[in-house]
Structure 1
Amino acid sequence: MTETLSEQLESYRAGWRARVPTDRQAVMDGHVAHLAASGIAKTAKQVGDRAPAIQLRDQHDAEFDVASLLTKGAVVVTFYRGGWCPFCNMELKAYQAVLPRLAAAGASLVAISPEKPDDVADTATKNELSFPVLSDIGHTVAKAFGVHYAFTAEVRTVYDGFKLDIPGKNGAPDDWSLPLSATYVIGRDGTILFADTRTDYRERTDPEEVLRLLEHRAAAE
């Protein structure tokens, strides 16, 4: 039986705990706690809010307007940190696997990252993604949704230790910031139907949860 995304992430987290030095783990755990205490999960866009416009360049370096998808049905929007993040890659692959079921429920899917278009294209190719993957340089959309956050100096040091050049990946000098790994479902009228704004990047919305919502709505229509 195929593992769910939640099961895959649980297994990966156990391995992460086993191999990442405890001092770095402590900093990342503290950062997650800091984000939780900041209240960002509650101040971000929530169910019932109107979703901001999403007009960004996709993995083909073409301008993409999510409004074009909303004319056909609901749209699932998932924010991911970057193709360098293993948790993100697992999530993207999991959504690719359920894409036919999303389409059967009348929905579309887009993923959004702050990475440069070339890196977004690499992520789409590496994970064999057939849905739009959008580049949000400068976090314009992430900020509009309220899911953007800045690194603390301590967290920057950890990422330096991982040899991850976040500003270079984001295509913006000194941009030590990322979006929450948030997932939304936007209805045809632009209203947010589902919002998961958890602050721990090591956890993700399971696509099965999103599918239950969409399939239930499709059956009721």
Structure 2
Amino acid sequence: MKKILSIVLLMAFSMTALANAADAPDMVGPEVGKEISALISLKDQTGTEQSLKSLQGSKGTVLVFFRSADWCPYCQMQLIDLQLHANKQIQDKGYSLAAVSYDSVKTLDMFTKKWSINFPLLSDTGSKVIDALKLKNPEYKGKSRFYGVPYPMVLVIDTNGIVKAKLFEKSYRKRPAVEEILSAL
């Protein structure tokens, strides 16, 4: 009986933890309507300091948060897909495209050269912006090489630095489709 009770409690705890982890992106990130322009100041893959103002198009910025261009194949595919299928369309709608991770400038530079990415990839090596926007995935602890990664998320930001849309998928293996991003503009 004790064994069965232990198993039932363990299963209940596991299911609660999984449910909480699956719901976590709903509760993270800046709220739609929040002004965030003062928080964005990062170096791009060339080492040039960028702000939301220096990045924005005539209508605003599409800011993509991703885990890593170094080790995350889902992120790599997303960035390549954005380059091939979304960047020009986003620009045609008056927005610029930029992406943020905790990767170093050097890692981002190597990735952009390898895959001919021509939009800014921004380095947040200390995860300061990721933290300020409440995007850090708490699943990874301080000694882990993955500590500081953000939840993958797409923010549509207007020229005043106001978040107009927030797009994400509950699993890091899935990302908002290009069509979904374009329809949010």
TM-score interval (norm. to shorter) = 0.7 to 0.9
Aligned counterpart in structure 2 of residue 104 of structure 1, from 92, 107, 113: 92
| Count of residue correspondences | 167
Q: Which amino acid aligns with 1:69?
A: L
Counterpart of 2:155 in structure 1 is: 184
Higher alpha-carbon Rg: 2
Aligned counterpart in structure 2 of residue 45 of structure 1, from 26, 30, 54: 30
Aligned counterpart in structure 1 of residue 44 of structure 2, from 58, 74, 89: 58
Alignment of structure 1 residues 39-188 onto 2, 5 Å = 39-52=24-37, 53-70=39-56, 72-83=58-69, 84-97=71-84, 98-152=86-140, 166=145, 176-188=147-159
1:77 aligns to what SS in structure 2? strand
CA–CA separation in structure 2 for the residues paired with 1:95 and 1:31: 33
2:116 aligns to what SS in structure 1? coil
Deviations 1:14-50 (A, max 9, x none): xxxxxxxxxxxxxxxx98644335x453242121122
1:195 aligns to what SS in structure 2? strand
Structure 1 residue 204 corresponds to structure 2 residue 183 = no
Cα gap change, 1:142 to 1:85, in 2 (>3 Å): same
The answer for unaligned runs of 5 or more in structure 1 is 1-29, 157-164, 168-175, 215-221
CA–CA separation in structure 2 for the residues paired with 1:31 and 1:183: 25
CA–CA separation in structure 2 for the residues paired with 1:122 and 1:35: 32
Q: In angstroms, what is the RMSD of aligned CA positions?
A: 2.4
Kindly indicate whether the alpha-carbon contact (under 8 Å) linking 1:41 and 1:198 is maintained by their aligned counterparts in 2: no
Counterpart of 2:9 in structure 1 is: none
TM-score, L = length of structure 2:
0.80
CA–CA separation in structure 1 for the residues paired with 2:97 and 2:183: 15
Q: Select the structure that is richer in helix.
A: 1
Kindly indicate whether the alpha-carbon contact (under 8 Å) linking 1:50 and 1:190 is maintained by their aligned counterparts in 2: yes
Shift of 1:144: 1.4
Kindly indicate whether the alpha-carbon contact (under 8 Å) linking 1:147 and 1:197 is maintained by their aligned counterparts in 2: no
- Once the two structures are aligned, what percentage of the paired residues are identical? 28
Cα gap change, 1:34 to 1:122, in 2 (>3 Å): farther
Shift of 1:190: 1.3
1:150 aligns to what SS in structure 2? coil
